[in-house]
């Protein structure tokens, strides 16, 4: 496209940040105008001198994957606390959390036999799985496309075999999280059902609609009183290859070796920073993401993006000299991926200290271009938030709608706290989710900064006007 489209003055208002800071005090008669001006300042600053991209670069490329209990997670805690301190928030502190400590160990190996050949395939252990004690586990395969299909089999058809869940994520859903939810059962519940039916191991097709050689890990659901059976994700490319081979030779043998194990629980931390409210400091607006990330990638979209956006939201208040009426608090939760201990510890502390968290915004759907917010309520708080939509439309948010806020904030009391999810575009999310490909080069700077700015804008409106 070359044509110089006649310049549309997208914003009627032209103002410099510095010239307007004097008008940011509360002026009830002028709230609407003030809100418009503050949002413009927030976006101008994010798009010209936002810091979240650089912080995420460090988090991904200098620290990398940071699963709970790992040395990388500990380094991420120290690094992000230091960043918050450098932003001069009113307080920055760590909140203790005991977290599971599962380790992958030496990289997994897997192959299947085709005639006399061994065909290597890419797998990675599912989070929480036991390993194979470093020795190959080999068996014939029973392929199914769902947990229901497995349940319909006689136990004798499963006993002693490796169950291969090959249900593909449904590409027809426009919102890809819907497809993930539908297909997630085979990873979440499948290994336990397979064990009950006598299987010796489980291979799950990666939860992504693209076909490539990256296995996508993720947790199994928890099940008390059993350690389960060795369970791994297989790349979609190799899942297709294996499935085709099974058509020709149903007796194909699969072999895999995994060195993962669960160690003793470890002390870790939520990382928290606050700017105190000037008028109603006891009312708190939370914004957060989760700091832990799977070890096989760098956790760029899941959920480094949400972390850097959350602290950027508070930083924008500082650099714009916006003093919130209510307290605003950034929380980087530990252990979303395999335990949710950070989210639970945070909710426990809110409850035990009788804190009044009026709203909590979570960003855990990637650093992509903005689309909408969801509110986990049908009550008048959704109506109130929706009334702010005209303020957001110039900034690529086109809806406030009902939806699940996010995992980390889910332990909070939803009657007291409005649980809000930031929703960027979801088309690319599962290309990288929980895979080695979730790296910093998949992040676009403008898309990331726009997300943080939209979160800052919503934090501002909540802190200014309450709910």
Residues binding its own copies (CB under 8 A): 1-8, 10, 43-44, 47-48, 171-178, 180-182, 184-185, 188, 209-210, 218-219, 302-303, 336-338, 364-365, 369, 371, 394-396, 398-399, 404, 406-407, 410, 425, 427-428, 431, 433-434, 444-447, 450
Q: Which two tokens stand for residue 8?
A: 């549309």
State in angstroms the smallest separation of the CB of 262 from its own copies: 17
State in angstroms the smallest separation of the CB of 190 from its own copies: 12
Nearer to its own copies, 237 or 395 (CB): 395
Strand 370-375 relative to strand 399-402, pairing:
parallel
With beta carbons less than 8 A apart as the criterion, state whether 123 and 203 touch: yes
Nearer to its own copies, 254 or 432 (CB): 432
CA-to-CA separations, 219 to 95, 330, 402, in angstroms, rounded:
24, 26, 26
Nearer to its own copies, 298 or 364 (CB): 364
DSSP assignment of 222-289 equals: P-TT-----EEEE-HHHHHHHHHHHHH-TT-EEEEE---EEEEEEEEEEEEEEE--SSEEEEEEEEEE
Nearer to its own copies, 278 or 369 (CB): 369
State in angstroms the smallest separation of the CB of 406 from its own copies: 8
Three-class SS of residue 172? coil
Strand 326-333 relative to strand 280-290, pairing:
parallel
State in angstroms the smallest separation of the CB of 233 from its own copies: 13
Nearer to its own copies, 140 or 262 (CB): 262
For 118, the enclosing helix (H) or strand (E) is strand 117-120
Nearer to its own copies, 45 or 132 (CB): 45
Nearer to its own copies, 161 or 371 (CB): 371
CA distance 164 to 435: 19
Nearer to its own copies, 172 or 251 (CB): 172
Nearer to its own copies, 113 or 428 (CB): 428
Q: Which residues pair with 97 in a beta bridge?
A: 268
State in angstroms the smallest separation of the CB of 217 from its own copies: 10
State in angstroms the smallest separation of the CB of 155 from its own copies: 26
State in angstroms the smallest separation of the CB of 71 from its own copies: 22
Q: Is it true that the peptide bond before 273 is cis, omega within 30 degrees of 0?
A: no
Of the candidates 137, 150, 145, 156, the one whose C-alpha atom is nearest the C-alpha of residue 254 is 137
Q: Which two tokens stand for residue 295?
A: 């070890």
State in angstroms the smallest separation of the CB of 365 from its own copies: 6
Q: Between vectors from CA 178 to CA 172 and to CA 180, what angle results, nearest 5°? A: 95
State in angstroms the smallest separation of the CB of 47 from its own copies: 5
- Hunting for tokens 């726009």 — which residue is that? 450
Q: Which residues pair with 360 in a beta bridge?
A: 286, 419
CA distance 452 to 395: 11
């Amino acid at each position: 496209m070359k044509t110089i489209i006649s310049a549309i003055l997208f914003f009627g208002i032209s103002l410099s940040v510095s010239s307007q800071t004097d008008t940011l005090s509360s002026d009830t008669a002028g709230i609407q105008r003030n809100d418009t001006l503050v949002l413009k300042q927030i976006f101008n600053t994010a798009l010209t001198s936002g810091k979240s991209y650089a912080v995420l670069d460090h988090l991904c490329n200098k620290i990398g994957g940071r699963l709970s209990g790992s040395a990388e997670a500990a380094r991420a805690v120290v690094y992000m606390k230091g960043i918050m301190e450098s932003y001069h928030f009113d307080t920055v502190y760590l909140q203790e959390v005991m977290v599971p400590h599962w380790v992958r160990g030496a990289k997994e190996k897997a192959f299947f036999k085709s005639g006399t050949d061994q065909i290597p395939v890419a797998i990675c252990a599912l989070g929480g799985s036991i390993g194979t004690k470093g020795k190959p586990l080999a068996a014939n395969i029973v392929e199914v496309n769902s947990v229901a299909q497995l349940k319909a089999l006689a136990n004798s058809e499963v006993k002693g075999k490796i169950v291969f869940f090959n249900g593909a994520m449904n590409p027809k859903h426009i919102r890809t999280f819907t497809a993930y939810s539908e297909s997630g059962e085979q990873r979440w519940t499948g290994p336990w059902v397979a064990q009950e039916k006598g299987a010796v191991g489980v291979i799950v097709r990666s939860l992504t609609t693209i076909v490539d050689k990256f296995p996508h890990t993720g947790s199994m659901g928890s099940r008390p009183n059993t350690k389960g059976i060795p369970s791994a994700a297989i790349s979609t490319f190799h899942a297709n290859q294996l499935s085709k081979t099974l058509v020709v030779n149903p007796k194909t043998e699969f072999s895999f070796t995994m060195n993962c194990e669960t160690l003793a629980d470890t002390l870790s931390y939520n990382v928290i920073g606050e700017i105190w409210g000037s008028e109603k400091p006891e009312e708190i607006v939370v914004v957060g993401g989760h700091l832990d990330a799977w070890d096989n990638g760098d956790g760029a979209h899941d959920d480094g993006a949400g972390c850097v956006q959350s602290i950027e939201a508070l930083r924008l208040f500082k650099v714009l000299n916006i003093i919130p009426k209510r307290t605003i608090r950034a929380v980087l939760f530990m252990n979303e991926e395999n335990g949710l201990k950070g989210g639970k510890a945070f909710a426990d502390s809110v409850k035990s200290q009788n804190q009044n968290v009026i709203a909590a915004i979570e960003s855990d759907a990637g650093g992509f271009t903005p689309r909408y917010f969801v509110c986990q309520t049908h009550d008048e708080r959704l109506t109130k938030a929706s009334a702010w939509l005209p303020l957001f439309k110039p900034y690529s948010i086109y809806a406030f709608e009902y939806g699940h806020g996010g995992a980390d904030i889910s332990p909070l009391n939803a009657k007291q706290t409005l649980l809000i999810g930031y929703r960027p575009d979801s088309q690319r999310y599962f290309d990288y989710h929980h895979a080695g490909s979730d790296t910093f080069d998949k992040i676009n700077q403008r898309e990331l900064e726009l997300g943080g700015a939209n979160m800052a804008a919503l934090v501002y409106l909540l802190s200014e006007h309450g709910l």
